Amino acid sequence: MPQKTGPLLVPLFVLLAGLFASAYVLELPALALSLLPLLPYILAVVMVFLAWHFNRGKVLLAGGLLLLPAFYPYVSNGGVPSSSATITALGLGLLLLLKERGFFNRYGLNRLLFLSMLVAWSFFYEKSWINFNFLQVMVPGFQMSLTTLICWAVILITMLVSVVVWWRGADGFSSAVLVSMVALLLIEFMTFSPQQEAALRSAQILIWIWFIVAESHRMAFRDELTQLPSRRALNEAMLALPKSYAIAMLDVDHFKKFNDSHGHDKGDEVLRIVGRVLLKHSGPASVYRYGGEEFTLLFKGRSCDYAEAILEDIREQIHLQPLDVSKDDKEKFVTVTASMGLAMVQPDERSSEVIKRADEALYKAKKKGRNCVVVA
């Protein structure tokens, strides 16, 4: 559960901070109050620059969609969503289901053209240049027009999809969409002064700025294949180790041979299996992908016996994971094993020397017959 709620914490905090700021915004000096309506657009420029720098096309489109309702001042009339808010919800829902394809390519252009078409429809509708009188019929049992029902359906479906995607993946993008939708509904159906609304819209944009920063950090410090922290994260962790710690090196047995026999796709699946097993033990140990088929475990403040017991459990669990390598309608499942070397820090010993001893213990585990743990 903490892994699911984690990506929501910062967006929710930013939204609550925006609500708190909006309650006391009138306490600001007159000059700050006059400049506050410009803040969402200033932050939007920052967001566009970051999205371009990190090649995040979906974030650019999301920022434009969130600012769309700001161009059409709208007062809720009996709970009827505005067309701009409906388009924003629809656009965010579509972005939620699409893969990131970057900026300057045919995917980005097609998405931009499609969303521009929706924005143009909203603009023409708000200006009364087009109308859909045939949708104004009252829907029996709902006490609302078909237009209003469609708008609410779009908003509620987007909320539902964002909740489902967030629950299944617990990723930053779905979390940002979910909290942005909550903020959109607050702005749409509650009465705020222009300065208070600017504070909330600024919070919306800040949520996406945070997403870009957090996503760039994740890409730099987390291995994409196994979802474990990468070697760069390990190097940083090694700079702040306690006095007592142990380091283990884990290597998948016969990995090159497995790749040659079953292909690199199956080899990647092996690494993902090992990554999932290690993630289950990320409480007792900090786990990292060292590189290739090698992984590192840091046991901070733990005894050697404790670390060895955890490694034995990991070794057994890896060996129990079945992997489907069926070919040509012939069903076949195999398992893989892992060898490990463990070293406990000695007085006045550098972390690089501890890793070296763990590597030497790993080499001994390989010579010993593999699928075992050797303590240096």
Q: Stretch 283-291: mean pLDDT, rounded?
A: 91
DSSP string, 265-285: HHHHHHHHHHHHHHHHTTTTS
- Counting every residue written for the chain, the total comes to 376
The answer to whether the CB of 27 falls within 8 A of the CB of 35 is no
The DSSP bridge partners found for residue 324 are 333
pLDDT (tens digit, 9 = 90+) per residue, 168-180? Answer: 877 889 999 999 9
Q: Stretch 329-337: mean pLDDT, rounded?
A: 85
Percent of the chain with pLDDT over 70: 96
The DSSP bridge partners found for residue 222 are 229
Q: Does the pLDDT at position 360 exceed 90?
A: yes
Task: Give the pLDDT score at 72.
Answer: 64
Q: What is the DSSP letter of 24?
A: S
The DSSP bridge partners found for residue 139 are 144
Task: Give the pLDDT score at 42.
Answer: 92
Percent of the chain with pLDDT over 90: 37
The DSSP bridge partners found for residue 58 are none
The backbone region for 329, taken as left when phi is positive above 0, alpha when psi lies in -120 to 50, beta otherwise, is: left
DSSP string, 285-309: SEEEEEETTEEEEEEET--HHHHHH
The answer to whether the CB of 356 falls within 8 A of the CB of 295 is no
Highest mean pLDDT among 116-120, 122-126, 267-271: 267-271
- CATH 3.30.70.270 location in the chain: 231-375
Q: Stretch 147-170: mean pLDDT, rounded?
A: 87
pLDDT (tens digit, 9 = 90+) per residue, 185-218? Answer: 888 888 888 888 889 999 999 999 999 998 888 8
Angle between helices 172-189 and 83-97 (to 10 degrees): 170
Q: Stretch 348-362: mean pLDDT, rounded?
A: 93
Q: Stretch 72-96: mean pLDDT, rounded?
A: 76
Give the range among 159-173, 194-208, 235-249 with minimum mean pLDDT.
Answer: 159-173
pTM as predicted = 0.79
pLDDT level of residue 4 (50, 70, 90 thresholds): low
Q: Does the pLDDT at position 73 exceed 60?
A: no
pLDDT level of residue 342 (50, 70, 90 thresholds): very high
Helix/strand/coil for 197? helix
Q: What is the DSSP letter of 260?
A: H
- For the sheet with 245-252, list strands across it: 286-291, 294-300, 245-252, 338-344, 373-375
Q: Does the pLDDT at position 359 exceed 80?
A: yes
The answer to whether the CB of 225 falls within 8 A of the CB of 268 is yes
pLDDT level of residue 75 (50, 70, 90 thresholds): very low
The answer to whether the CB of 288 falls within 8 A of the CB of 231 is yes
Q: Does the pLDDT at position 78 exceed 60?
A: no
Q: Does the pLDDT at position 1 exceed 80?
A: no
* Domain 231-375, classified CATH 3.30.70.270, yes or no: yes
What distance in Å separates the CA atoms of residue 194 and residue 82, rounded to the nearest whole number?
Answer: 17
What average pLDDT does the chain have? 87
121 vs 72, 87, 296, 305, CA distance in Å? 13, 9, 55, 68
149 vs 94, 103, 137, 181, 266, CA distance in Å? 19, 35, 11, 18, 48
